[in-house]
Structure 1
Amino acid sequence: MELDRSDEEILSGEYGETRRVMLEILIALGKVYGAERLIPVSSVQVSGASYKTIGDAGLEWLNGLDARAVVPAFLNPIGMPRDDWRDMGIEDHFAKKQEEILDAYRRLGISLSCTCTPYYHNIVSYGDHLAWSESSAVAFANSVLGARTNREGGPSALASALIGKTPEYGLHIMKNRLPDLVIGVDDPSATKDWGPAEFGALGYIAGKEAGNRIPYFRGIRGNRDRLKALGAAMAATGAVALFHVEDITPEARVPFFKNSFSIEGKESITIPVSDVEAVFSDCEVNAVAVGCPHLSEDELRTLAGLLSGKKVKKEFFVFASKEMIDEHEDLVGKIEASGAHVYADTCMVVSPATDRLGSVMTNSGKAFSYLPAMCGVIPRLGTIEECVRVATE
C-alpha cells in the first residue's frame, strides 16, 4: 500500500504507540480489500459506545489508548441518557460503566454527540469521504446525501478518527457504487400514501433480498424521513450500505450513473404491496417506542401533533439526539405533556431499559428487526398514528 511521509512517521512510532497501532489497523484492513492508498476523511462516527454492547473488555481496550482525534468524530447512541438515566430505570452499575466509557471517549477527543442521525447536526456534502459505522447512518450518508463511506466496525472507525484517514476501497470508489439489483413494487401508486413505517416495512423485506448488494428502486417516491426508514431497515435485515432510488437519490441523477448503469441484464425483483402490509401485525404490547433511527424535526412535530390533548396509558419511549431535543424544546414539551418520555443519547436497541418490556410496538422497520435478538422482546410494527393510538387507548 502506498504510504506518505506522515504515515511512515506514524508507523515508526514518532506519534506514539496508540497512533502506530491505529494506523496498522487501517493498513491491514486496506490490504484485505486491496486498497492502494489511504485517503483523508472529513468526519468519523464511532460505534461501540454502549456498555450493553462492548462490556468490560471494550472499556479496558479504550482505557489503554492514548491519542486524540484529528478530525471531527462523534459517537453512536450509548446505553442510557446522560442526564435522566434513573428515570429510564437504568441500574447504578450500568450507569457507572457507561460513564466510564464516555470518559474514555472524551479523553480520546471524540465528541459526545451520541446519535444514529449525525447528519442532522454535522455538515456532510455530496462526495465527502467519511468513516461512519452505524448501519442506518451509513445507508443515509451514502444514499440520500451522496457521501462515501464503507460500513466501518468500531475499531476501524476509531482508528480513522485518530489518524484522519481510511483505506480507499469499496464505496469510496465511484465504480463500486453502481447498483446490482433492481427492486420495484407491484403497485407503485400505493407508495405515494406511505409514511416512514411502510417504507421501513418495505426495507425489512428488501434487505433480506439484497443482502450486501446495492439496490436500485424504481417507481417509489419518498422524502428524507421515508428514505431514512427504508435504508435503516435494509441495513438491519441485510447489509445494505447504499441504495439508489430512480430520479430521487443524488447519484441516480448524475451523468456518470446514467452513462454507466443500465437495468438491462440486472437481477430484478418485485415486492407485492400485500407483503409489505403483512409485516404489520396486531398483537397486545406492553410499551411503545419510536425514534430508531433518532427522530427528525418533522417527526417530532408530527408526534407532538398526534399526542396533543391525549394521555398515554402505556410506557411511551421517544428517542432523539440531544441536539434535536435542545433545538425543539417546545415540541418535546408537547410530547411529554402526554406522559411520553423523550430521551437523548440512547435508543430502544442499545439500552437495557428495553429488555424488561416483554413486547414493544414501534414504527421502525430497523427496530422491528433488531428487538427480538438484541433485547429479547416481541415486536409489533405500526404507523406512528397506530403507535399513538395503542399508547393512548
Structure 2
Amino acid sequence: MELSKDEKEILNGRDGNAAAKSMQILYALGEIFGAEKLIKVSSVQVAGVSYNNLGDAGLEYINSLAIDGKVKVKTMINPAGMDLVDWDEMSIPETFAKKQIEVIAAFRKLGIQISATCTPYLIGIKPQKGEHIAWSESSAVIYANSILGVKTNREGGPSALAAAIIGKTPYYGLHLDTNRQAQIKVNVECTPGSQSDFSALAYAIGKKIRNKIPLIYGIKQATHDQLKNFGAALATYGGTAIYHINC
C-alpha cells in the first residue's frame, strides 16, 4: 500500500506514539487486503468496549494510546459491559465496574463521545450517501451500507480506533463499488408484516446465503424499523455487511 509523505512521517513517529501505532495497524491491514491507499473517513464507531472483551491487556493498550492520542473525526463507542450510571444497583461486581470505568475514561481522554450505543445513526452520526466511514457494530455497518448508502467495512475494535486517531482507513472491501454488487438473487414469496417477521425472514435468508451479498425481490413495502431489524438479523445469521432490496 502506498503511503503519502505525510502518512510516512506519522508512521515514523512525527505525531507521537498513538498516531504511529495507529498508522502501523492501518498500514498492515492495507497490505493484507491489497489496498492501494488510505482514504479519509467522516466518522468512526468503535466496538470491543466491554472490559470482558478487553481484559487488562486491552485496557493497557487503550491507556497507552490516550497518553498522547486524540481522535480526528467524530467517534462513538458501542455499549459497555454494564450500565455506566446505575451499575451498583444491578449487582455488578465493584472490581469489574472499576475496570470498566477505567476503559471509559481512556476512551473519553482520546476525545471519543461516550455514546455506548449500537445505533450511532440515531443519536448524532448520520453520514451522507457516498461518504466513507469506519464502523464496527455489525447491525450498524449493514444499516449504513444498505440503507444510508455510505461505505464501510466491518471494523474490529483496534482498526476502528486506529481509523479514528488517523482519520483514515485502507481503501479495500466495501469501500470499493465493485465489491458492493449483488452476488445472489432472493425472491420472497411471503408477506412479512411485523418487525419480528422481518427478523425471521432475514434469519432464513442469512442461513442460506451465508456471506454473499443478496438482491432481494418480493417485499412490497417496509418501514425504517423493519429494515433495521432485517439488516441486524441478516448480519448476525448470514455474515454479510450489505444487502440490496427492491421494494
Q: Is TM more than 0.5 here?
A: yes
1:36 aligns with 2:39: no
Letter aligned with residue 241 of structure 2: A
Once the two structures are TM-superposed, the CA of residue 87 in structure 1 deviates from its matched residue by 2.8
Q: Which residue of 1 aligns with 2:98?
A: 96
How far, CA to CA, are the matches of 1:74 and 1:133 in structure 2? 10
Q: Deviations over 1:107-136 (max 9, x none)?
A: 111111110000012131101100000000
Say if 2:189 and 2:218, in contact at 8 Å, map to a contact too: no
Shifted more, 122-131 versus 159-168: the winner is: 122-131
How far, CA to CA, are the matches of 1:61 and 1:205 in structure 2? 39
Once the two structures are TM-superposed, the CA of residue 182 in structure 1 deviates from its matched residue by 1.3
Say if 1:231 and 1:240, in contact at 8 Å, map to a contact too: no
Q: TM-score, normalised by structure 2?
A: 0.94
Once the two structures are TM-superposed, the CA of residue 60 in structure 1 deviates from its matched residue by 1.8
Q: Which residue of 1 aligns with 2:213?
A: 214
Relative to structure 1, the CA distance from residue 87 to residue 197 in structure 2 (aligned partners, 3 Å threshold; closer, same or farther) is farther
1:13 aligns with 2:13: yes
How far, CA to CA, are the matches of 1:54 and 1:195 in structure 2? 37
Q: Which residue of 2 aligns with 1:322?
A: none
1:51-62 to 2 correspondences below 5 Å: 51-62=51-62
Q: TM-score, normalised by structure 1?
A: 0.60
1:154 aligns with 2:153: no
Once the two structures are TM-superposed, the CA of residue 70 in structure 1 deviates from its matched residue by 0.7
Letter aligned with residue 97 of structure 1: K
Letter aligned with residue 84 of structure 1: D
Letter aligned with residue 127 of structure 1: G
How far, CA to CA, are the matches of 2:224 and 2:88 in structure 1? 34
Once the two structures are TM-superposed, the CA of residue 57 in structure 1 deviates from its matched residue by 2.1
Once the two structures are TM-superposed, the CA of residue 166 in structure 1 deviates from its matched residue by 0.3
Say if 2:71 and 2:165, in contact at 8 Å, map to a contact too: yes
Instruction: Work out which structure has the larger RCO, using CA pairs closer than 8 Å and 6 or more positions apart in sequence.
Output: 2
Q: Deviations over 1:162-209 (max 9, x none)?
A: 00000011111112111001122233xx22xx2211111111222222
Once the two structures are TM-superposed, the CA of residue 36 in structure 1 deviates from its matched residue by 0.4
Q: Which residue of 2 aligns with 1:186?
A: 189
Once the two structures are TM-superposed, the CA of residue 147 in structure 1 deviates from its matched residue by 0.6
1:119 aligns with 2:118: no
Letter aligned with residue 63 of structure 2: N
Q: Which runs of 4+ in 1 moved over 6 A?
A: none
Shifted more, 197-206 versus 112-121: the winner is: 197-206
How far, CA to CA, are the matches of 1:235 and 1:138 in structure 2? 9
Q: Which residue of 1 aligns with 2:4?
A: 4
1:237-316 to 2 correspondences below 5 Å: 237-247=237-247
1:138 aligns with 2:144: no
Q: Which one of the candidate residues 76, 82, 85 is aligned to 2:84? A: 82
Instruction: Tell me the secondary structure at the aligned position of residue 114 of structure 1.
Output: coil
Once the two structures are TM-superposed, the CA of residue 63 in structure 1 deviates from its matched residue by 1.6
Root-mean-square deviation (CA, aligned residues, Å) is 1.2
Once the two structures are TM-superposed, the CA of residue 89 in structure 1 deviates from its matched residue by 2.7
Q: Deviations over 1:327-347 (max 9, x none)?
A: xxxxxxxxxxxxxxxxxxxxx
Once the two structures are TM-superposed, the CA of residue 210 in structure 1 deviates from its matched residue by 2.2
Letter aligned with residue 17 of structure 1: N
Instruction: Tell me the secondary structure at the aligned position of residue 235 of structure 1.
Output: helix
How far, CA to CA, are the matches of 2:210 and 2:157 in structure 1? 21
Once the two structures are TM-superposed, the CA of residue 43 in structure 1 deviates from its matched residue by 0.1
How far, CA to CA, are the matches of 1:59 and 1:13 in structure 2? 22
Say if 2:141 and 2:154, in contact at 8 Å, map to a contact too: yes
Say if 1:74 and 1:112, in contact at 8 Å, map to a contact too: yes
How far, CA to CA, are the matches of 1:60 and 1:237 in structure 2? 33
Letter aligned with residue 8 of structure 2: E
